[in-house]
Structure 1
Amino acid sequence: MARIDIDDVVVTYGGRPVIDGQSMTIPDGCFFTILGPSGCGKTTFLRLIAGFLAPARGRVAFAGRDVTRLPAHRRDCGMVFQDYALFPDRSVFENVAYGLRARHVPESDIRRRVGACLERVELAGFADRLPAALSGGQRQRVALARALVIEPLVLLLDEPLSALDARLAAGMQSFVRDIQRDYGVTTVFVTHDQRMALTMSDRVALLRAGGVEQIASPREIYHRPRSTYAADFLGAANLLAVDPDGIRGEVAQCRLSGARLAAHANGCRPGDAVRLCIREEEARILAPGAGDQGGDNRLAATVTRLTFLGEATRVELRLQGGAALRLIQPNGFGATAPEPGSAVTVEISPGCCLVREV
């Protein structure tokens, strides 16, 4: 295991900086996800850690050891590629054994370690098969076994689940996470999929145009995003213009559509340009008559559209001031959504928060 430190790195392509003076720390044994849209620098950071490219400036260290100029084959990293990169003409056993043979490990140790690793990834009976005879999920597990069998300091995962169908990918998320916990290896996972990042990670680094927008736990980055960019990228967020009346400690008093709202200040200060971030599950429609007495965090609205999602219904509303609001209403136990055109009262959770408008 190893802590990874990336300090003030600059990476250029064609003389143009694509990462400019960025830093991040990946704790020892952490499942760390680098998240962001295409072209934001995710793969560049992964290649930097792997040793496939060197920064124009800055430092990369594993467990305090400077590896900035160390070539990839000497960094003790295991890597799982998006397309698995298995040798098609070699058996499962030989694919997994490849890294050990390259390190001149004795044959008896190879057989022991490969056998144990195949058993752990539930492929003990597949050692003699060729990759073409395996399913996508099985090939993914072979690639994972090949990366882990060398007992690396760092495991790098380059969107390894993106080639799987949605159902299989969902099952593999838990499998990969359990394997990582068993081995305790520091893991860097690259993805553009926000749900995977929230589901699998200990820490998430959200990138934006080559820069680090926010690093936090999945729960924190979802419920307390630092910016409108982070709020909008992670999950379905309503980002509404509000007039903050005052901020005292962690509580912000706001006005929206003529009503008073209390929200989490989320580090915002008076004078900041802000939006109110309301997740779809942080609002609910009150039962008829329940909102007649008024009160804070209650808004009058009109239903404009319903979208059936299976386990829930997305309800789109228009607030009295004209702003649009979306919420999720769970289905089941006889729950029915109000019809389009209905006048309703919406209650907003005080757990919603302000975010800086950047």
Structure 2
Amino acid sequence: MQEKKPLAISELSQYYFYNCEKLIRLISDKGNSNKDNGRSNKDKGNSNKLKYKNNGEIKNYKMAIKKRGLDFELKVINELIKKGKDVINCNDDIMIHDLKNAKNDQIFYQMKFDVPDEFYDEMKMDNIKLGAFVPDFIEVKERDHGKKEIIIYDAKASKSTHTSHQFQVASYALLLEFIVKKISGLSISNTGGIFLPSSQSNTPFQLEKFRLDFFLPEVKKFFRNKLPEIINAKTSTWHYNSRCRTCDFVNVCRKDAIGSISMIPYLSLVKAEDLKTFISDRKSGNDDVDIEDVVEVIKELDIRSDNFSSSEKDVNRRIKHIVKYDKRLKSSSPYLKAKETNQAQV
């Protein structure tokens, strides 16, 4: 049996950006061809054709994003040094015990930690392993009676803070809690932060702080319940939509979306769930709802019929609103393009 690659916290945090169970499966099964990654039965026959590779355009885009992130981290470091902060670029010689001996306001850049066994025992994670984690910045603050507190920051070259960013910092805090509790006089701050690019000319970044205790319950729930359930489930919930453009697996899911309701342009996740629920109630069996099911239902809809109750008319109007398009846009309609190319449109 092929051993799975440990999961990275930075990758798992993307779940809270894309809101996609299939993403977790794809991350978990990356390089393991024995899994179907949550595809429906009709997609499994094409599994050999679907490789975990993006085209050149996607690769260049991801490389540009990575470079932008590294450039921003460098700007943060230079600005912190400019402000008189003692920033230590960590290497293998810098260990967690060095934090206890650190001076007030010292900042450690990219200190590497291994996930302690106590974390797996506490979360009851038997068949899932996490890779070593590397917080971008750890700041040391002296407190009363000689005690010290560490504050975790992450740098994101993003316009604003997202839940996925906060989840990542909170995950680091949870993991570090198992490590620092063995060290007398050292604790984790209840505050975390995200460095973001600043629109002001006098500084390259702004620091947005947030309370970790608001996120730690969700983080614990994710590792204890959500993550094992998603990985061990036979199938996973997913919907190909416009947000998927920046995902590493966009080409995989674009192919998997053929014949599904994801081919309906501008169909949000919420509306997709509404549509699936409505159609599932009308069909027998446990098969996934596909585009042909939608066509059959729409053919039956007639909101002008006197045979419908008022509630049924409301439902029918909602369905038609979800899949409506402007007939005047004959040449540029994304609905017509989806039909002509047999590809999902985002």
TM range (shorter): under 0.3
Whose strand proportion is higher, 1 or 2?
A: 1
